[in-house]
Amino acid sequence: MTETLKKQSLSFYLFFIAILFVPLIGFFSYAISYNTSFFVYLSSGLLAIVVLLMPLRYRFQKKQAEVGLLIQNLHEKENLVRAHIDQEEFAIDSIKEKIINFSQLKGLTEKLSMSIYLEDTSKTLSAEVNRLFGDKDTTIILYLFHSKTGELGISSSQKGQMRVNIKSKQGDVFDQWIVKAMQPLLIEDVRSDYRFDVDKIESEDSRQIRSLISVPLMVGHKALGILRIDSPQPKFFATEDLRFLTTIGDLGAVAIENAQLYEQVELLAIKDDLTGLYLRRYLFDRLPEEISRQMRQNNNLSLLMFDIDKFKQYNDKFGHIAGDIVLRTLGSILTNFFNQPGSLVCRYGGEEFAVLLPNCTKKQAAELAEEIRNIIAEQTIILRREKTKVTVSIGVASLPKDARIKDELIYKADNALYEAKNKGRNRVCSAS
């Protein structure tokens, strides 16, 4: 538009000059050719024209200034429009990026909601973070705090599509910084970050680390762990990456807490509050699977049934609280003794206990039963400041020698237990 105004102004100027000078040229030619005295009139005419041109010149300059100001205003408006267009384009790009991020977060949330156990949740979270951020050189590490000790430990780690072995099992200096500060961490280049000692980092971990982003996993004020991504390339991560990982960490923390709560509830459903041992229904659920596995592998499976001798007398003499002490003590002894992989110690009901022993022959089970019987008989228990001792009767049955199905195995072990009680208690009897 400004170019158009300039062209219009120039056209008007040229047109005005043409109107003035064409008659003058004609008069000048007439004076030279026919009448030289006409120059006096021509000079007077020129003087009159000059006098007439002065206000026209003033008006022209004024008009030219107005056009210049208009052009300047138009330039300013053009710049404002361009700035507004750039701002709108930036906003559109930002909205597009948010839509993509929300779509990715939606997929992450759906996958996390399908994982109810902690192990599955950890693997899903690491895999999704690897899909969103990772490449062949990027390492994803998920740390979780131990529920009892509070120590930091690796729950999942992978580099690309492969699991990776991390030397610092409880975290390095970066992870310890997160534990202390409980704030997100972005390091564009480890070698230029004054907060950390490069030599110490390289001595602690053989992996090459140049840049990383890491966020604490928190629900409210409760810290659950750390989600971290590191790369051997400097300036691999930016502030936007850290912001996006923080959002992922918030979603992951909720999923991890839900998984932990689910496992706690599930554990409460299969464990006895008093002794901490598994309940009978868990034994019933586990037995068919264990029997099937042992039969496929042609191995032995033994079952021990325990009963505390004359337990009612302890309750009558010392009270039910003392009876609870006896049950807890016996549960602790059994747990510490039968600590081999695969062994299962249960509170069968009341004062009865059961122990499942995979890969154990009937003879080996009877020897273990005799050994634990002696240990229990020698254990001193203080009830109401009085030293006392308890004894147990034990029944032993084995698969496939005594039974081939769950109900038959339990029946044979239970019968052997009652045989031990009928023969005077404080003894071990095997199924016949």
- The domain tally of the chain equals 3
**pLDDT for 184:** 94
Q: Which of 1-5, 262-266, 268-272, 334-338 has the lowest mean pLDDT?
A: 1-5
Same domain? 72 vs 135: no
| Active-site option among 128, 257, 290, 351 | 351
Is the separation of the CB atoms in 415 and 319 below 8 Å? no
How far apart CA 89 and CA 87 sit, in angstroms, is: 5
Same domain? 327 vs 407: yes
Same domain? 264 vs 290: no
Per-residue pLDDT averaged across 184-190, rounded?
Answer: 92
Residue 18, judged by CB atoms within 10 A of its CB (0-12, 13-18, 19+), counts as exposed
**pLDDT for 187:** 92
Same domain? 176 vs 286: no
Same domain? 204 vs 248: yes
Residue in 223, 221, 220, 216 with CA at minimum distance from that of residue 249: 216
Is 315 a member of any domain? yes
Q: Domain ends where: 223, 244, 269?
A: 269
pLDDT per position as a tens digit, 399-429? 888 888 889 999 999 999 999 999 999 999 9
Same domain? 157 vs 291: no
How far apart CA 330 and CA 299 sit, in angstroms, is: 29
Same domain? 261 vs 128: yes
**Radius of gyration, CA atoms only, the chain:** 46
What is the Cα 142 distance to its own chain's centre? 7
Same domain? 365 vs 247: no
Is 14 a member of any domain? yes
Q: State the pLDDT confidence band at 116, using cuts at 50, 70 and 90.
A: confident
Is 207 a member of any domain? yes
What is the Cα 258 distance to its own chain's centre? 13
Angle between helix 118-133 and 239-270 (nearest 10):
170
Both tokens of 115, joined, read 């994982």
At residue 67, what is the residue type? V
Per-residue pLDDT averaged across 6-18, rounded?
Answer: 59
Q: State the pLDDT confidence band at 101, using cuts at 50, 70 and 90.
A: low
Same domain? 411 vs 342: yes
Same domain? 283 vs 249: no
Half-sphere exposure of 402 (CA within 13 A, CB side): 26
Residue in 246, 194, 253 with CA at minimum distance from that of residue 219: 253
**pLDDT for 21:** 65
Per-residue pLDDT averaged across 338-344, rounded?
Answer: 89
Q: Domain ends where: 269, 291, 312?
A: 269
**pLDDT for 42:** 64
**CATH number where 398 lies:** 3.30.70.270
Per-residue pLDDT averaged across 295-324, rounded?
Answer: 87
Top mean-pLDDT range of 164-178, 295-309, 376-390: 295-309
351 catalytic per annotation: yes
How far apart CA 398 and CA 415 sit, in angstroms, is: 13
Is 329 a member of any domain? yes
Is the separation of the CB atoms in 347 and 275 below 8 Å? yes
Q: For the chain, give the mean pLDDT.
A: 83
Angle between helix 320-337 and 362-378 (nearest 10):
140
pLDDT per position as a tens digit, 217-269? 999 889 999 999 999 999 999 888 898 899 889 999 999 999 988 888 877 77
- The 10 Å CB-count burial string (b at 16+, else e) for 160-178 is eeeeeebebeebbebbebb
Is the separation of the CB atoms in 406 and 413 below 8 Å? no
**pLDDT for 351:** 92
Same domain? 402 vs 291: yes
**CATH number where 154 lies:** 3.30.450.40
pLDDT at 36 over 80: no
Is 83 a member of any domain? yes
Q: Domain ends where: 243, 269, 295?
A: 269
Same domain? 251 vs 127: yes
**pLDDT for 15:** 64
pLDDT at 23 over 60: yes
The percent of residues in the chain predicted with pLDDT above 70, rounded, is 81
What phi and psi, each to the nearest 5 degrees, are found at residue 197?
-85, 115
**pLDDT for 110:** 81
Three-state secondary structure readout of the chain = CHHHHHHHHHHHHHHHHHHHHHHHHHHHHHHHHCCCCHHHHHHHHHHHHHHHHHHHHHHHHHHHHHHHHHHHHHHHHHHHHHHHHHHHHHHHHHHHHHHHHHHHHHHHHHHHHCCCCHHHHHHHHHHHHHHHHCCCCCEEEEEEECCCCCCEEEEEEEECCEECCCCCCCCCHHHHHHHHHCCCEEECCHHHCCCCCHHHHHHHCCCCCCEEEEEEEEECCEEEEEEEEEECCCCCCCHHHHHHHHHHHHHHHHHHHHHHHHHHHHHHHHECCCCCCEEHHHHHHHHHHHHHHHHHCCCCEEEEEEEECCHHHHHHHHCHHHHHHHHHHHHHHHHHHCCCCCCEEEEEECCEEEEEEECCCHHHHHHHHHHHHHHHHHCEEEECCEEEECCEEEEEEEECCCCCCHHHHHHHHHHHHHHHHHCCCCCEEECC
Is 101 a member of any domain? no
**pLDDT for 388:** 87
Q: State the pLDDT confidence band at 207, using cuts at 50, 70 and 90.
A: confident
How long is the chain?
A: 432
**pLDDT for 60:** 73
**pLDDT for 319:** 80
Is 107 a member of any domain? no
Half-sphere exposure of 16 (CA within 13 A, CB side): 12
Is 110 a member of any domain? no
Is the separation of the CB atoms in 224 and 145 below 8 Å? yes
Provide the domain limits for residue 243: 118-269
Top mean-pLDDT range of 89-93, 123-127, 194-198, 396-400: 396-400
Is the separation of the CB atoms in 105 and 213 below 8 Å? no
The percent of residues in the chain predicted with pLDDT above 90, rounded, is 30
